[in-house]
Structures are given as C-alpha cells and as structure tokens.
Amino acid sequence: MRIISGEAGGRTLFAPSGLDTRPTSDKIRGSMFNIIGARVVDARVLDLFGGTGALALEALSRGAEAAVIADNARQAMQVIERNARNVAGQDFDRRVRLIRADYRAAIERAGIGFDLVFLDPPYRMTEAYGDALKRLDDRRALNADCLIVMERRADSEVKLPEGFEAFDTRRYGETAVDFVRTIPAL
C-alpha cells in the first residue's frame, strides 16, 4: 500500500497485522480521489474508522488542510500514527489529530467544520453509517457542502438518516463506494 498522488505520492503505508483491519485498495482509493477531485484541496477531513489512515492521509497528500483520524484499536492507532508522521512530516502536529475511540466517542471529540468525511467501518457494522451521520448532523459537525464517502460491501444495504442522500455509487467487485451529501432544507 502507498500514497497514490500529491506531495507524499509513492510513500509506503503500513497496515496492522491480523484480519481486524481491511485497508482500502490502492485501485479503489485512486478511483475515489479521481471522483472527489479538487474538493480535497484545503478541506478539513474526518476519517472515523481509520484502519491505516490511508484515506485521510491521501487527502492530506493531495492538499487537504487538516485531518482528524479515529480508530478504536490500539494497534491500528499505532500504525496510523506511523503512517501519518511519514506523510505529514514536520507538519504532523499542525495537520493531524488522532483520536483513539470508537466512532461515537470520536464524533464527540472531533470538533466541527468538516468538508470531507470518510466512513469505512467493518462491513458487519451496517448500522454505523447512518448512526454516524445522524450524530455528526446533531453536533452540526458538517459544513453545508460536506462530501461523505462511504465504503461498504456491495451487497449490503445502508439506511441513510433523513437529510442525507447518496448521489453517486460506484462498484468495484464486492465493494461499493457511496458519495453522500446533505439535502438542503427548504
């Protein structure tokens, strides 16, 4: 695994050992970021199920202003920190914030004003997508034009809370990626 593009392009990313973390493949990550395009520049990013940190760190490499990366697993957080220090270098303290907590507690501690959110929980946690979005909305943590990128198993159904819509879905074999936005109030 590696950072695909941007100022840290080509740098190696490490993954925790074992089966608890399912890193997004370089192919899928590259496709996601081709779709996201310039929206990543100067964005404030939240990655609630960090795993390796690859999604948030790819965003930083491509010009995101800052990233908050959360994961509940100790080993994952150690790997995320290693990867983030490698990608952010001397700007680590200014551009990266790590939170070791489950997504619910991380939302409470992450802050507000996010432009780009990645949701890639373990595939068995289908309820986490909608629950995380509702919690983020309740805290007013998302900017009005926030883009939410959700990776899931292609055959799973994800129920979005009121006020959110998936406006694009891409399939990559057994994986689907939904691009979600808030629906403006009338």
Tell how far CA 18 is from the center of its chain: 21
Residues in the chain: 186
**Residue 110 near residue 68, CB atoms below 8 Å:** yes
**Residue 71 near residue 49, CB atoms below 8 Å:** yes
- Looking at residue 9, its pLDDT comes to 86
Q: What is the pLDDT of residues 58-87, one digit of tens each?
A: 999 999 999 999 999 999 999 999 999 999
Q: What is the pLDDT of residues 125-149, one digit of tens each?
A: 999 999 999 999 999 999 999 999 9
Q: What is the pLDDT of residues 13-53, one digit of tens each?
A: 988 775 456 667 778 889 999 999 999 999 999 999 999 99
Kindly list the structural domains of the chain, giving each domain's residue range(s) and its CATH number in brackets, ordered by start: 26-182 (3.40.50.150)
